[in-house]
Amino acid sequence: MAEIEVPNPHEIHERGETTFGRRAALTTAIYAVVLSIASLGGNNTVKEMLLSQQQSSDQWAFYQAKVIREHQYRGQKMLLEMQLAEPSSLKGAERAKVETLAAKFAEEEKRYNGEKKEIEAEAKKLEATRDHRRERHPYFEFGEVLLQIAIVSASVAILSTSRPMFWFSLVLAVLGAALTVNGFVPIFKVPFLHHH
């Protein structure tokens, strides 16, 4: 986020001797606190989004490994079943050994299939978390922008002793704070902030 240049603090202090100036300066300090909360929320959302994405990718890689193992066992089982289908090829103890092995491979195939489904569910859950964070992030971003403009507007209001400019800054700050709160706890939805 680009840094915004604030007017000279000494000049603001001199103009801030009036009641209006003092109130406006105090309000601007509150804007700054809310801005830092919005910034923190936005940064945390990005970190959580990236972490969920990484964990989801790891789960899908794990899933692929399970799929490969499942197919290997299925292939080996099918080869043994083909051998067993030819009555002349196997006799007695040898046949029993191949039957036991085929049953073991079938069991392993089933186990990998079950584990694969659990991993898939976990990967999808992580993707849903990532998508939820991605949806929340623009609220923090736009909240930050409005709060930064509110701080500059309030500083201009103090320097020019302009009440309309101060009210304008207050409206922007309230909107910025509302977007920030919505980033933490979804209350409303702003359609243009969702990229679907």
Tell me what pLDDT residue 95 has. 79
pLDDT at 2 over 60: no
Report the 3 state secondary structure along the chain.
CCCCCCCCHHHHHHHCCCHHHHHHHHHHHHHHHHHHHHHHHHHHHHHHHHHHHHHHHHHHHHHHHHHHHHHHHHHHHHHHHHHHHCCCCCCHHHHHHHHHHHHHHHHHHHHHHHHHHHHHHHHHHHHHHHHHHHHHHHHHHHHHHHHHHHHHHHHHHHHHCCHHHHHHHHHHHHHHHHHHHHHHCCCCCCHHHCCC
CATH class of residue range 9-193 = mainly alpha
Residues 10-21: tens digit of each pLDDT: 665 555 467 888
**Alpha carbon distances (Å) from 62 to 24, 78, 109:** 57, 25, 16
Quick one: average pLDDT of 111-136? 92
Please give the pLDDT value at position 10.
63
pLDDT band at 3 (very low <50, low <70, confident <90, very high): low
Whole-model pTM over 0.75 = no
Angstrom CA distances, 54 to 25, 47, 66, 135, stand at 44, 11, 19, 18
Cβ atoms of 4 and 152 within 8 Å: the answer is yes
Q: What is the pLDDT of residues 19-51, one digit of tens each?
A: 888 899 999 999 999 999 999 999 999 999 999
How much is the pLDDT for 51? 95
